[in-house]
Amino acid sequence: MNSDYTEKNEKHRNGYLIPIVAKMLELKLENNDLKKLMRIMHDCLYARNHGDILRIIDLLNEVIPFNSAILCRKDRESVVLNIDESINHSYPMKWVQSYSENNFGWVDPVALMSTQTIEPFKWETAYHDVELTREMKEFIGLAEDYGMNAGISCSRNASIGENVDTIMSLETTGYKADKAYLHIAAYIVPHLHEAIGKIGKADQMPKDLPDFTPRERETLKWSYEGKTAWEIGIILSISERTVKFHLNNIYKKLNVANRSQAVAKAIRYKIV
């Protein structure tokens, strides 16, 4: 290999990585967490489908704690999130469905604030920085009924030539979202935005859907309804262990890691 070519590539690589590493060091994280953030950056570069994005969010959860996460896309011409085109990592499916069906983007203070700033913010900030209407208060109460009590959101505005923003929301009830937490979210979102933009239509419904057994379809249906493995076992008159066996087969066929991801993909593929 040409030594001059190799040297030029190495300089280019270092010129790209050095400012990124310097910025990450400012976060003052443990070495292990810094390595995970570097891994996230790397994985975003090579993400090819929604499953890759979901695994990246799994890794993010090892750096900063949260209960559930979702990535939403928003057209620059619209004020409202298009949650139908979201990548749902672990938000309650019934809440996502209700949000979409009722067009809650119009009364969601978090969604509205995310269109006005690219700085990460706590949900409570969005609730306190505006004069809440009756509809907004009702929305917040309904969100809390689904366990969406506290969280943070961060957005990445579309670059020149783009027309879609990306907004990440993390539900953090029970965790302390400090400044470092917010800084990490702000660092990660641009990488996720680029990754999702590259994926484009690559993860649309495949021509050949997975072939599920009747029992797997029943298990998936009741998972969509929010039933636990034990409850599904009672309904189908099978053991909890057998239910978990069917769930594992479903995960493999859908190329996902957990039940929330399986249900999200099943909805996108119109399986349930």
Q: 98-128 pLDDT, tens per residue?
A: 888 788 888 999 988 988 888 899 999 999 9
What lies within 8 Å, CB to CB, of 67 at 6+ separation is: 90, 147, 171, 172, 173, 174, 175
- 149: in domain: yes
CA separation for the pair 208, 65 (Å, rounded):
37
Condensed to tens digits (0 to 9), the pLDDT of residues 120-162 reads 999 999 999 888 999 999 999 999 999 999 999 998 865 545 6
The domain containing residue 258 runs over which residues? Answer: 214-268
Condensed to tens digits (0 to 9), the pLDDT of residues 168-212 reads 999 999 998 888 889 899 889 988 988 888 776 555 556 678 899
Same domain for 150 and 263, yes or no, is: no
CA separation for the pair 199, 196 (Å, rounded):
5
pTM: 0.68
Partners of 154 in the β-ladder: 168
Same domain for 152 and 264, yes or no, is: no
Rg (CA), the chain: 20
What lies within 8 Å, CB to CB, of 106 at 6+ separation is: 79, 80
- 71: in domain: yes
Give the CATH number of the domain where residue 241 resides. 1.10.10.10
Domain boundary pick from 165, 199, 233:
199
Q: CA 236 → CA 56, 110, 217, 218, 232, distances in Å?
A: 34, 40, 12, 8, 6
